[in-house]
Structure 1
Amino acid sequence: MTALASRAVSRIAAARLLVAALWAGALWVLGYIAAPAVFGVASGPVAGDIVRVLLHRLALVSIVCAVLMLVLVQVSPELERGRRRYLNLVVLAMLACALVMFVGLQPAMAQMREAAGPLGIRASPLWTKFAILHGVSQLFHVIESVLAAILVVKSR
């Protein structure tokens, strides 16, 4: 391999690791630091509104990172076929988690909060269903976070 080709391979590998770390960091910071902090200092409805906006942005970051990772994995000449397939599966699983939350769970939860009216979701008969969806959403976030750790480790 020529020096130029070696540098290109090295840069692609570095870009893979950078994108994986950015994606993982965004997931971890929002899910385990920012969201709990917001709920710690703001009231339920206000905190919910703030976290909803953050989750929307996280979903966009996830989609962009997934596309970048899929491209970077495909153009990585040093990755053997099995490793390339493994990384693609991890990325697609993470993207699936993000899309389930972004397209399915978050809109359903937002509709319930809106339908609950001025007394808030906790005072609504929708509270139990909302709490279940929130728990499912948290589970998907944990799964995506664990997959993110795997992606960072395996992207090197």
Structure 2
Amino acid sequence: MQRFAEHLYRISITLWVGALWAIGYLAAPTLFRVLEDRGLAGRLAGDMFTYVAWLGMALAAYLLIFVALRKEGAAFKSSVFWLVLVMLLLTVAGYFGVQPILAQLKADSFPREVMESALRDRFAAWHGVSSVVYLVQSLLGLILVAVQDRGLR
């Protein structure tokens, strides 16, 4: 059973970080490059980011529990524990904090596309915040991949 939990630990890190990079830096930019309808590209990218956020929250829960049980009282001394916790907090901040603001700005601009409305600058600023949060989370994910064996010791 312990071996299964260790494999699931590694798979969880791979899925989460892989999804962050695949959606954020491959799929979403491709949508905006290929689709002429930028509104559709944004909606599709938004849906994919939602899936990545929920996946990340679920996998982070497993990873935190795994490290806490594995390290017992020393979990708070584990770099893996802190990386996962910070990545989880960034996911929660992005999904429950920034994304609702972006959605409200889009709704307030209706029937126009938000980038064609008076709310364009505010939307761009919040989109920038979202992008920075996502970038930091993605970079922390790379560090997590590099140090993941520390969570097993």
TM-score (norm 2): 0.88
Task: State the shift of 1:41 in Å.
Answer: 1.8
Match of 2:60 in 1: 66
Specify which of 41, 44, 48 is matched with residue 50 of structure 1. Answer: 44
Q: What is the percentage of aligned positions where both structures have the same residue?
A: 28
SS for the counterpart of 2:111 is coil
Q: Root-mean-square deviation (CA), in Å? A: 2.0
Counterpart of 2:145 (choices 133, 136, 152) is 152
How many Å separate the matches in 2 of 1:126 and 1:93?
A: 31
Match of 1:121 in 2: 114
Matches within 5 A, 1:95-114: 95-114=88-107
* CA distance in 2 between partners of 1:140 and 1:57 (Å): 17
Size of the alignment, in residue pairs? 148
Deviation at 1:104, TM superposition (A): 1.0
Kindly report structure 1 stretches of 4+ aligned residues shifted beyond 4 Å: none
Shift, 1:111, TM fit: 1.0
**Partners in 1 of 2:21 and 2:79 — Cα distance?**
22
Does structure 1 retain, via aligned residues, the 8 Å contact 2:68–2:75?
no
**Over alpha carbons, which structure has the higher Rg?**
1
CA distance in 1, matches of 2:22, 2:81: 24
Gaps in structure 1 of 5+ consecutive residues:
1-6
Higher normalized contact order (CA 8 Å, seq sep 6+, divided by chain length): 1
